[in-house]
Amino acid sequence: MKLIYPYKHKLTFGQKTADSLTKWVGSWTFIFIIILFLIFWVFLNGYFWFKILEGKPFDPFPFIILNLILSSLAALQAPIILMAHNRAAQRDRIRMEYDYQVDKKAEKEVREIKQQLDRVEGKLK
């Protein structure tokens, strides 16, 4: 029985991209950058609103443009995260198959050792 090592296959560009983007999007650095961006956006709009009382800020209070940006970000992140989860499930399936093959080989070897012990025991009697 030939064992297939689970990590020998090459990853496609999409798989590599999904893995790296998920690492980035799931990091505290990304969360802090998004929080800083949101704070900057709100203060920038507030500054322009108080500074130029006659005119309106480029994104008034309900922050429609900001909502569009965040919704677009969420719409792009969701499929990327799902791709990464699918990759993790695929890696787990490959690892389980590898473990199964190792277990079957170990079982075969244990059976052979038991047969040898039975033969030795039979000769000693």
**Residue 7 within any structural domain of the chain:** no
Residue 47's pLDDT is what? Answer: 72
Q: What is the pTM of this model?
A: 0.54
Q: What is the pLDDT of residues 65-99, one digit of tens each?
A: 888 888 988 888 888 888 888 888 888 998 999 99
What domain count does the chain have?
A: 1
Confirm whether 97 is domain-assigned.
Answer: yes
Residue 103 has pLDDT above 80, yes or no: yes
Q: Is 3 inside any structural domain? A: no
Write out the residue range of the structural domain in which residue 40 sits: 13-124
Which of 44-53, 77-86, 103-112 bottoms out in mean pLDDT, i.e. has the lowest? 44-53
Asked whether residue 2 is assigned to any structural domain, the reply reads no
Residue 43 falls inside a structural domain: yes
Q: Per the domain annotation, does 4 fall within a domain?
A: no
Secondary structure string (H, E, C) spanning the chain: CCCCCCCCCCCCHHHHHHHHHHHHHCCHHHHHHHHHHHHHHHHHHHHHHHHCCCCCCCCCCCCHHHHHHHHHHHHHHHHHHHHHHHHHHHHHHHHHHHHHHHHHHHHHHHHHHHHHHHHHHHHHC
- Specify if 5 maps to a domain: no
